[in-house]
């Protein structure tokens, strides 16, 4: 059986060259699929260089940047076509998600359909964010949970391990959001089809290399998306 970690990238060359070896140091038997949206900084070429060292590293090159959701959907299509795949992990490239948490997530994935690395349960934390962003994130998660009914304290966490059998049940044609709201829309579809959830505490660290993807459009999407999910 295969466990695959999917990492979407756009201009993450300096991060990815450090992250890939670190992940394999914690989970050497896993596979990693980097989904690169034609990064002008040469992220895809750097992954090609790393493939000479790591046989379990794959690259999916996309023509252009179309949003987090579309990158993940294309990666899911590729990964789930392999019947040997057991678990799929969603993970950021900017070191906000600690590879040291992966073994624990994989242990819980034996008994839960979705394991989420949570900032907002006992033991979880956020390092490096301004106060306004911490308040925005906490408030946004409470808002999302209240409206959608998701049984999670961290609905928007992008650090998730999902059983492939649960992902294969999802009708991806129902996905309507392709920014960061894609994450909790996917979780809601998994929840509605009966997937079980487990949150484990993680320390989320703000990126130190590269530019944050946070924008006014993302905030606006996060406000509207829970209502779209509920009304649907």
Per-residue pLDDT tens over the stretch 189-226: 999 999 999 999 999 999 776 555 555 556 666 667 77
Do 51 and 61 meet the contact criterion of CB atoms below 8 Å apart?
Answer: no
Residue at token pair 């959701």: 69
Residue (of 110, 230, 118, 112) closest to 181 by Cα position: 230
What integer pLDDT is reported at residue 230 of this predicted model? 66
Distance (Å, whole) CA 161 – CA 30 = 13
Q: How many CB atoms lie within 10 A of CB 95?
A: 18
pLDDT of residue 167: 97
Asked whether the beta carbons of 219 and 136 are under 8 A apart, the reply is yes
What pLDDT sits at residue 100? 98
Confidence class of residue 11 from pLDDT cuts 50, 70 and 90? very high
pLDDT > 70: percent of the chain: 92
Quote the CA–CA distance of 35 and 27 in Å, as a whole number.
Answer: 19
Percent of the chain exceeding pLDDT 90 equals 77
Domains of the chain: 2-231 (3.90.550.10)
Helices 181-192 and 216-231 cross at an angle (nearest 10°) of 20
Task: Report the chain's C-alpha Rg in angstroms.
Answer: 17
Q: What is the pLDDT of residue 66?
A: 87
**Averaged over 147-161, what is the pLDDT?**
94
Six-digit token string for 177: 């959001």
Summary mean pLDDT of the chain: 92
Task: Tell me what pLDDT residue 94 has.
Answer: 95
Residue 176, pLDDT above cutoff 60:
yes
């Amino acid at each position: 059986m295969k466990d695959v970690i999917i990492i979407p990238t756009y201009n993450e060359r300096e991060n990815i060259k450090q992250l890939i070896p670190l992940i394999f140091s914690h989970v050497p038997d896993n596979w990693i699929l980097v989904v690169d949206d034609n990064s002008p900084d040469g992220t895809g070429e750097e992954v090609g260089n790393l493939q000479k060292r790591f046989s379990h590293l794959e690259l999916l090159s996309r023509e252009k940047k179309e949003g987090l959701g579309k990158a993940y959907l294309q990666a899911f299509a590729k990964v789930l076509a392999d019947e040997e795949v057991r678990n799929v992990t969603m993970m950021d490239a900017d070191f906000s998600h600690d590879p040291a948490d992966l073994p624990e997530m994989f242990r819980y994935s034996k008994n839960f359909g979705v394991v989420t690395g949570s900032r907002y349960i006992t033991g979880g934390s956020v390092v490096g964010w301004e106060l306004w962003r911490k308040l925005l994130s906490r408030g946004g998660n409470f808002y999302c949970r209240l409206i959608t009914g998701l049984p999670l304290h961290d609905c928007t966490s992008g650090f998730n391990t999902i059983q492939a059998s649960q992902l294969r049940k999802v009708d991806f044609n129902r996905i309507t959001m392709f920014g960061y709201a894609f994450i909790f829309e996917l979780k809601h579809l998994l929840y509605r089809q009966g997937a079980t959830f487990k949150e484990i505490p993680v320390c989320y660290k703000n990126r130190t290399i590269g530019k944050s993807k946070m924008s006014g459009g993302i905030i606006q999407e996060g406000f509207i998306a829970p209502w779209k999910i509920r009304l649907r």
